[in-house]
Amino acid sequence: MKESTWSPNKKREFRRVFDKVAYTAGAIFVKKQHMLLEHTPTCFVYIDLYSGDGGHPGGWGSPVIAIETLAAVYEKFALPYHIHLYEKETVDAKRLKIILGKALEHVPKGCSINLYVRDNDDVVNLQILDGAMGLVYADPYGGCEWAKVLLALSVDKKYEKIDMLVDLNPSSIKRNQGKNQKCTTCLIGTSLDNCINNIDKEFCKVREPDVGERHSIWQWALVFLSNNRTLFDTEWKKHRWYNMKDSPIRLQKLAKTNKELAGCG
Ligand SMILES: C[S@@+](CC[C@H](N)C(=O)[O-])C[C@H]1O[C@@H](n2cnc3c(N)ncnc32)[C@H](O)[C@@H]1O
């Protein structure tokens, strides 16, 4: 696997968030179905915008973890799932396909796993079912292109119950700002605050930043966005997830350039 930001903390937190979102969706599905309630979820949609090559034993990548978890949730709650994996590099996509192997062939009836070997900006054309719950995951190598994509999806009514998780690199965003460069691919602007605040979700949690692999100077922070209040129990704080506005000072600092911190930004 290429040099990545797949630190043990990130892997653990991705699993934690994915479990929370998927099992909550399963429980809601069963409850609403039994009570014949309106707005019963139709399915769970998982979209991986940066799928990678599948990882390796002991360090499986996000698509493998997602497929395993959704298969378990299906067993327990019979919640149908649709998985959409984007990977633009042919070599990585080929390896991912081999790693997924049988999982791609043995999908339960009414479920699907789709691998797209192309740029993820195509995701805005994806057809998804009304009433879907789910998660969109963005795990880029850096930059802020993901913000434009997440913004576009978040204002689409079909994504109202689909949560968003991004592993972002505040340092790279800040570095662009510091150099006073215009980000050529992100329409929103280059401040972390802007990138996040423009995404149309009611609640936002930020995990304490992590330093990347191999003593990299880059810091990485997971950000979770959702409209579902019931997801937010006390567990989040225990695992060092904070609200953007009342997070410890270093998280607030992450969102700003030195110029802004000095009061002239
Ligand atoms: C950090 S890795 C993803 C790791 C993966 N989430 C995992 O858990 O193993 C980023 C991947 O995104 C791919 N990628 C980068 N830009 C992309 C884009 N615009 N569309 C689709 N894939 C992209 C890269 O080729 C790379 O394989």
> pLDDT, tens digit, for every residue of 120-166?
999 999 999 999 999 999 999 888 889 889 999 999 999 999 999 99
Q: What pLDDT is recorded for position 176? A: 65
Q: Which atom of ligand 1 is nearest to the CA of 65?
A: 8
**Which residue has a Cα nearest atom 13 of ligand 1?**
50
Mean pLDDT of 59-83: 96
Asked if residue 256 has pLDDT above 60, the reply is yes
Q: Which atom of ligand 1 is nearest to the CA of 86?
A: 21
Mean pLDDT computed over every residue of the chain = 85
Q: How far is the CA of 165 from the centre of ligand 1 (A)?
A: 14
Q: What is the DSSP letter of 229?
A: G
Which helix (H) or strand (E) element contains residue 48?
Answer: strand 44-48
Q: Which amino acid is at 1?
A: M
At what angle are helices 62-77 and 90-100 packed, to 10 degrees? 40
Centroid of chain to Cα 87: 15
Q: How far is the CA of 206 from the centre of ligand 1 (A)?
A: 21
Q: What are the boundaries of each domain within the chain?
A: 8-261
Fold designation for 8-261: Rossmann fold (3.40.50)
**Which residue has a Cα nearest atom 14 of ligand 1?**
50
**Which residue has a Cα nearest atom 18 of ligand 1?**
119
Token pair in block for residue 100: 């997924």
Which helix (H) or strand (E) element contains residue 74?
Answer: helix 62-77
**Which residue has a Cα nearest atom 19 of ligand 1?**
119
Residue 108: pLDDT band (50, 70, 90) is very high
